Amino acid sequence: MAWLRLYLPSFVFFWLSACLGLYITDAVFEGVWLDGWVSLLVSGFILAFVNMFLKPILMVLTLPLMVFTLGLALPLLNGLLLMIVDELVLGFHLAGYGVAVVAALLISLISFLINITIGRIQMQGRLGRGGGRARPDRGDRNDRTARPGYSSPPRSDDVIDVEVHERKDP
């Protein structure tokens, strides 16, 4: 039963996230439609189950294709998973595979934004120079360790680096 406590919160989050993504996708695209709330909840449940348990297996099986296409085959796999949900749920309809790929991209974007909003993914930014060279008129800007919390005003040659970390649920 320990696995249930470990995976249940993540699964419920995936389910609600998938339901919201499907609801917005249904409102945006004419090629995606749901027959009602029951269809939405069942489709979200099946999509969350497929994404949580079947997708990792399929990603391992298609790993050479993912590496060869530099990850560009992932939206195609997501569209395939959405087509599986279309076949399993009677009240969920897709106009075709192309619509499924675009809808899967939108659902992924919505899920990503939800993850950022509730803090499951944390984004950290850092402002720094690209080359690491010192400017003669302003001194060495890499000397920030001597004064914690100091940051100079941004310049036109500054680069913004962003790191994304996923928070692990207890």
At residue 118, what is the residue type?
I
Do 130 and 113 belong to one domain?
A: no
Nearest Cα residue to 81 out of 95, 60, 101: 101
Contact assessment for residue 51 and residue 81, using Cβ atoms and an 8 Å cutoff: yes
Cβ partners under 8 Å of residue 96, min gap 6: 31
Do 109 and 136 belong to one domain?
A: no
Do 78 and 153 belong to one domain?
A: no
Contact assessment for residue 69 and residue 39, using Cβ atoms and an 8 Å cutoff: no
The tokens describing 94, both together, are 């897709």
Do 88 and 114 belong to one domain?
A: yes
Contact assessment for residue 50 and residue 85, using Cβ atoms and an 8 Å cutoff: yes
The tokens describing 69, both together, are 């296409």
- Taking CA atoms, 68 is separated from 12, 15, 51, 58, 72, in Å, by 34, 31, 22, 16, 9
Do 52 and 131 belong to one domain?
A: no
Do 88 and 109 belong to one domain?
A: yes
Express as a percent the part of the chain with pLDDT over 70: 74
Do 50 and 112 belong to one domain?
A: yes
Contact assessment for residue 32 and residue 94, using Cβ atoms and an 8 Å cutoff: yes
At 37 the pLDDT is 94
Do 64 and 138 belong to one domain?
A: no
Number of independent structural domains in the chain: 2
Query: pLDDT tens digits for 35-84?
Result: 999 999 999 999 999 998 899 999 999 999 999 999 999 999 999 999 99
Helix (H/G/I), strand (E/B), else coil: 158 = strand
**Is 135's pLDDT higher than 90?**
no
The tokens describing 159, both together, are 């680069």
Query: DSSP labels for 106-149?
Result: HHHHHHHHHHHHHTSEEEEEEEEESS-PPBTTTB-TT-TTSSTT
Do 110 and 161 belong to one domain?
A: no
- Identify the domain boundary among 118, 137, 152: 118
Do 61 and 112 belong to one domain?
A: yes
Do 35 and 108 belong to one domain?
A: yes
Do 98 and 133 belong to one domain?
A: no
Domain containing 75 equals 2-118
The tokens describing 105, both together, are 């991209």
* pTM above threshold 0.85: no
At 98 the pLDDT is 94
At 77 the pLDDT is 95
